[in-house]
Structure 1
Amino acid sequence: MNVKKVSSRLLCAAAVSIALTSAGAFALNNDSIKNIDSTSIEMLNARFKQGDYEYVIEALEDVKVKTPKQYNILISALMNIDLDDAEEVADEFVKNYSNDYRAYHTHANVMGAQASNSIFSALGYAKKAKQSLETAVTLAPDEVGVYQALMQFHLMAPSIAGGDMDEAEKLADKIATLDALEGQFAKAKFYLQDDQVDKAVEIYATLAQQNEAKIRANLELGTHYLTDERFQNAFETLSVLLNESVETVTDKESEQWEAYAENKSNLLYGKYRIGLLAVQSGEYTDSGIAALEQYIEEYNTTSIETAHLPSMNWANLRLAELRLNANDVQQAKATLSQINGEEDKRFAKILKGLKKQIKKRA
């Protein structure tokens, strides 16, 4: 078994989004850092959204008794700066909230990221991710999300790392008993990974006819095609989302908020995927530019949680690539100027290459 290949798959296996919301920016003094309430969390989320991870870390790292929300936003910020520090705080989260499934959910996310980042330690981190997800299921046997995360682990992780397709199918069946719609999505994901693509496509086609499911159905199937480098199929599936919209819900306490936030998130992700598709395929450049422009505008104005979505830096990087592909050198340069702060090594490599190309063509 190629350890590097194992490592590259484990982040997807244990990926669990850390939910953050946006609000207006604010300044913390020493006293308020010690007593951060829910309103301040909203404000910290805004700093996170702007990519100001250091600010978030400084505000929260010395808080002695952190709430689960504070742990989540701190860990999410640390994951963009230093995975080892994120791991340390994730361990602390589990220790202090040993009966809260959310702590293990987040812990699994960090372990998955470490597995992806640490070639020679990938299997050890995968084991920790699996253990945390199994604990989360034990603590919250009625939470669909933890079953979905554990199923994703079994689908994506190789057997040497604990993945098991039979267990994944059982989990898909379990999800169906808790939520019929989620059960259909779970079964479709299982079929995709089990090379039964025709069965998956049939399910997604049915889901795409339902108002509450069509955006997500197109996103998931289109993402599969993109990953499989079936670019034409991917474009035909994802491009539908360019003309989709979601009726806005403003009341976060309303019954409609959760469904709205999920739909909006999926729509945004779909638009980013169209841009990524244009970059990777070298085709559909105009559609890719339009999709990323929409993504950036809507990301910056939405009130839904955005930490799980591609950052503004990534969106601007991809948009700059497409503008350069369209021979619009000045717009590509202007787009790169919108990038603030640092991302990972891969981002830095792409950015460096783009700057060189722009300099040559300026």
Structure 2
Amino acid sequence: MKFIIALVVSVAIVFCEHAAAQDHGSTKAQQALSLIDVDLDSAEEMIIEAISDNPHSAKDHFYCGRIMGRQASDAFFSALSYAKKSLACLQKAVALAPKNVDYRKGLINFYLGAPSIAGGDKQAALEQVNVIKQLDSSQGVVVELDYYRKIKELLTLEKRLAHALTADPQSAIVHYQYGLLLQQTGDYNRAQSHFVLASEQGENREIAYEALYQLGRNAVFAKDFISQGTAALQHYLTIENSTVMPSKSWAHYRLSQLYTLHSDNTLAQKHRLLAADTDDKVLLNLLEN
């Protein structure tokens, strides 16, 4: 359960940066967030004070959701208590800023990631999806696709993707999501085609960049498209990563796998060493095997 709550925390707050334009929040709340990786207990005390002083700031409550969520991920006996506090803060942020799509996205991710005992609720998540569709139809399409992917209703997801592509054949996010679905089901050839199309669309640079990473990753799974995957990852390494994109260490790891498939052991070892420059425990574990 602790792992699940930690995952919830990580995904529930990735949308906070976009929300900042509408509500700057209090200085004290910003200071509290800055302590999250330094002194979590002090961050908790400070965010409680910030909310007491500034109870109508949606962003302060959103920060509260992040800090309480981190406490949940680090706690043991009090993990559920902190998770519920995190959820309450996220819900309050949405109540204070009901038209803010990004806060609702965070709430959806909590509902889908948390166990029911901690507030997880698929139906509540779907209700938020439907609200977002009314607030912003373009973002609603993306959120709905993400919803069905996360609850693993793959047949429904494929139908929604096909419908979305009919409506907008050039949509990078839809091609990207379609690629992920096909990759998940082992249809690597079709997945590669959709990742190529996503990488070529310019209206969403972050999705285009993530598609580059997936071109390399999919080539590893397919044991094919080696040159295309290598070129995509080399390009990916030249761009500036956002915090929600795969790290450059992961790109180096995928390159090492592709060079191994290509029987270029020298370059494979070079990129394995570059990949090891990370604190990512999952990746480090893979590199040890």
- The TM-score range, normalised by the shorter chain, is 0.7 to 0.9
Q: Counterparts in 2 of 1:79-118, with a 5 A limit?
A: 82=37, 85=39, 88-89=42-43, 92=46, 95-96=49-50, 98=54, 99-109=56-66, 111-112=68-69, 115=72
In structure 2, the partner of 1:14 is 12
Choose the corresponding residue for 2:132, options 159, 164, 175. Answer: 175
Distance 1:115 1:274 in 2: 35
Indicate which of 234, 243, 264 corresponds to 1:307.
243
Q: Which residue of 2 aligns with 1:323?
A: 259
**Other-structure match for 1:28:** none
Question: Aligned-pair distance for 1:264?
Answer: 0.7
Query: Offset at 1:149?
Result: 1.5
Matches of 1:86 and 1:278 in 2, distance apart?
41
- The letter of the residue matching 2:59 is R
Q: Which runs of 5+ in 1 are unaligned?
A: 21-64, 248-259, 354-362
Cα distance in structure 1, aligned partners of 2:46 and 2:235 = 39
Q: Partner residue of 1:283?
A: 223
The whole-number CA distance in structure 1 between the counterparts of 2:140 and 2:32 is 30
Query: 1: CA distance between counterparts of 2:69 and 2:270?
Result: 35
Is the contact between residue 12 and residue 105 of structure 2 (CA under 8 Å) also seen in structure 1?
no
Name 1:264's counterpart in structure 2: 205
Please show how residues 170-319 of structure 1 align to structure 2 within 5 Å. 170-194=127-151, 196-209=153-166, 214-226=171-183, 229-232=184-187, 236-237=190-191, 239-243=193-197, 244-247=199-202, 260=203, 263-279=204-220, 281=221, 283-284=223-224, 286=226, 287-297=228-238, 299-300=239-240, 306-319=242-255
| Corresponding letter in the other structure for 1:10 | V
User: TM-score of the superposition, structure 1-length normalised?
Assistant: 0.62
Rate the CA distance shift 1:192–1:282 in 2: closer, same or farther, 3 A.
Answer: closer
What is the identity, as a one-letter code, of the residue corresponding to 1:273? Answer: Q
CA gap of 1:4–1:134, structure 2 versus 1, over 3 A, is: closer
> Residues 1-20 of structure 1, C-alpha deviation per residue, up to 9 Å, x if partnerless?
xx366447534652424649
Aligned residues: 276
Q: Structure 1 residues 96 and 116, CA, compared in 2 at 3 Å: closer, same or farther?
A: closer
Deviation at 1:134, TM superposition (A): 0.7
Counterpart-to-counterpart distance in 2, 1:345 and 1:213: 37
1:326-360, Cα deviation, whole Å (9 max, x unpaired): 3222112332454585323223323444xxxxxxx
Q: Give the corresponding residue for 2:21.
A: none
Question: For 1:135, which of 86, 92, 100 is the aligned residue?
Answer: 92
> Could you list the per-position Cα deviations for residues 305-343 of structure 1 after superposition, in whole angstroms to 9, with x for gaps in the alignment?
712222222322332233233322211233245458532
Change in Cα spacing, 1:16 to 1:119, as seen in structure 2 (3 Å) is: farther
SS in 1 for 2:200: coil
Q: Which has the higher contact order (CA 8 A, sep 6+)?
A: 1
The 3 A distance-change label for structure 1 pair 15 and 66 is closer
| Change in CA separation of 1:172 and 1:307 when aligned onto 2, cut-off 3 Å | same
Residues 111 and 122 in structure 2, CA contact (< 8 A), matched pair in contact too = yes
**Cα–Cα, structure 1 residues 306 and 324, in superposed 2: closer, same or farther, change >3 Å?**
same
For the 8 Å contact 1:17–1:307, the answer to whether it is kept is no
Whether the 8 Å contact between 1:285 and 1:322 is mirrored in structure 2 is no
**Residue 180 of structure 1, CA deviation:** 1.7
* Offset of residue 117 of structure 1: 6.2
Query: CA shift at 1:150, angstroms?
Result: 0.8
Distance 1:336 1:197, change over 3 A: closer
The offset of 1:162, in angstroms, is: 0.8
1:275-333 CA distances to partner (integer Å, 9 max, x unpaired)? 33444x36346143233222112x24xxxx71222222232233223323332221123
Task: Give yes or no for the alignment of 1:166 onto 2:107.
Answer: no
Contact (CA 8 Å) 1:91, 1:107: kept in 2 or not?
Answer: no
Q: Which amino acid aligns with 2:187?
A: Q
Distance 1:110 1:328, change over 3 A: farther
Alpha-carbon shift at residue 245 of structure 1 (Å): 2.7
Residue pair 1:323, 1:332 contacting (<8 A) in 2 also: yes
Identity %: 25
- Counterpart AA for 2:232: A
> 3-state SS of the aligned residue for 1:331?
helix
Q: Work out whether residues 108 and 130 of structure 1, in 8 Å CA contact, stay in contact via their aligned partners in 2.
A: yes
Whole-Å separation in 1 of the counterparts to 2:32 and 2:231: 36
